[in-house]
Each structure stands twice: as structure tokens, then as C-alpha cells.
Amino acid sequence: MATRSRVGADQPRDKLLASGAKALSDAELLTLLLRTGRKRAESLAVATELLLTFDGPAGLLAAESSRLLAVAGVGKGNLVLLQAASELVRRSAEQRLRDDEVLTSPAQTRRFLQYHLGARDREVFSCLFLDSQHRLLRCEDLFLGTLDGAAVYPREVAVHALRYRAAAVILAHNHPSGVAEPSAADRRITERLCAALALLDVRVLDHLIIGRGPAFSFAEQGLI
């Protein structure tokens, strides 16, 4: 009985070792991260609750610390593991962009931004700073806002562009509502940023709005 119980307790781990990580469900993978001093059944229950609360892995890995700790059964040890996993995924995606030319991989750029911004519950304005070959130099979250918007200051974007010696930028922000349509304010700030950065000979290649569906591209719509 003890042997059978142990096999059941280690089922996700053994399944991963036997068949690879792709064979595990989201809940099973998350259970492996959460098993710090608790039984598998308890970890699975917490994992399931987290995935439901944050609408899947993307929302979970983008969730803020306070919201994660508000879920019953999630402690600081779990929080550290989740945030470490999230940062590794983000750095991996950013490295793939660094290794490629952004202009020749628009789909990859959008996937990165969808992961980076799509599940945020507040508006975040980010910039991808590029060199003269349009390779990624740096991705920065420059402005944080609320559910309704974020204040964006062209001077700060210009300062960062000079700091990284960028030749071009891709602007991006999310709409927590999930609707990736530009507001009048989005159009105005895009025009202001294009004008301000042009004075520094820095080209704005695109401004992407990230929602729950396809991203909105200012460049594709002829707005840049």
C-alpha cells in the first residue's frame, strides 16, 4: 500500500520523466512547482484554482504578487517559484527576438508582446529599442497605469532611446479590457512620439495594441 501511495504521489513527476513535459496537463505541470511540503492532491487543488483564477498559464505567469498570494494555499515559497518561472519564459522569448531581425519576424514579435502584455490587469506601455539592423537592444516597460490607461511622456521614451543608442523603436501597450482598438488618446500619443523621436533620427516602426484577440498594428493600418 505504501508503495502504491508513493507512486500516486509522484505521478506527475514520473509521467514527465517517462513521456516528457508535453505529456502533462497545465495543472500537472503547475503541481510540480507548487509541491513544497504538501501532498500532491493539495498541490493539484491549488494549481487548478490558480489556473481558473487567472484564466490559464499566461494570466498566471503575468499576475502580480499580491493577487497570487491572495489565492488560498499560495505562500511566499510558491510565489518565488512562479515568478522565477515567469521571468525565465520572458527572457527566453526576448532572447529569441535578440537572435533574429524583428522586421523579418513580425509574428514572433507579436507572440512575445502578447505574452509580455496580454494578461496584465493594468495598462502597461512598453518599448522595443532596436539597432540600425532592427535587432532588439532592449525591451522596457516604461509606463504603468490603471485599468483605463497609462500616462505616456515622449521625453522619457526619447531619453531611453538615446541611452540605448536605438535607431528605431516598436511601441506597444495593452488594453486590459481585451479590445485591441486604438482610442483617440492612443492615436494622439503615437503622433507625438513619432514627432519627438524623429527629431533624434529614431524611427517608429510600429505601435501595437495588445488585447485578447489579434493585435492592432498602427503600421498595417497606415497610421504610421
Which residues are bridge partners to 172 per DSSP?
Answer: 126, 208
> In this structure, is residue 172 part of a structural domain?
yes
Give the separation between CA 141 and CA 224, rounded to whole angstroms.
21
> In this structure, is residue 96 part of a structural domain?
no
Instruction: Based on the fold, state whether residues 119 and 185 are members of the same structural domain.
Output: yes
The total number of structural domains that make up the chain:
2
Cα–Cα distances (Å) from 123 to 73, 150, 206, in that order, read 28, 6, 18
* Neighbouring C-alpha atoms within 13 Å toward the C-beta of 78: 25
- Phi and psi at residue 167, in whole multiples of 5°? -100, -20
**Contact in structure between 126 and 141 (CB atoms under 8 Å):** yes
Instruction: Based on the fold, state whether residues 67 and 111 are members of the same structural domain.
Output: no
Order of strands, sheet of 203-210, starting from the edge strand that comes earlier in the sequence: 136-144, 124-130, 168-174, 203-210, 216-217
Query: Which residue among 46, 62, 90 closes a domain?
Result: 90
**Contact in structure between 139 and 175 (CB atoms under 8 Å):** no
Instruction: Based on the fold, state whether residues 112 and 199 are members of the same structural domain.
Output: yes
Residue-level pLDDT at 9: 47
> In this structure, is residue 27 part of a structural domain?
yes
Query: Which residue among 65, 90, 115 closes a domain?
Result: 90
Query: Which residue among 67, 90, 113 closes a domain?
Result: 90
Q: Which residue range forms the structural domain that includes residue 29?
A: 2-90
* The pTM of the whole model exceeds 0.75: no
* Neighbouring C-alpha atoms within 13 Å toward the C-beta of 169: 33
**Contact in structure between 86 and 61 (CB atoms under 8 Å):** yes
Instruction: Based on the fold, state whether residues 114 and 57 are members of the same structural domain.
Output: no
Intervals of the chain under pLDDT 50: 1-9
Instruction: Based on the fold, state whether residues 79 and 113 are members of the same structural domain.
Output: no
Instruction: Based on the fold, state whether residues 76 and 143 are members of the same structural domain.
Output: no
Give the separation between CA 23 and CA 16, rounded to whole angstroms.
7
> In this structure, is residue 176 part of a structural domain?
yes
Instruction: Based on the fold, state whether residues 64 and 146 are members of the same structural domain.
Output: no
> In this structure, is residue 14 part of a structural domain?
yes
> In this structure, is residue 194 part of a structural domain?
yes
Give the separation between CA 196 and CA 149, rounded to whole angstroms.
21
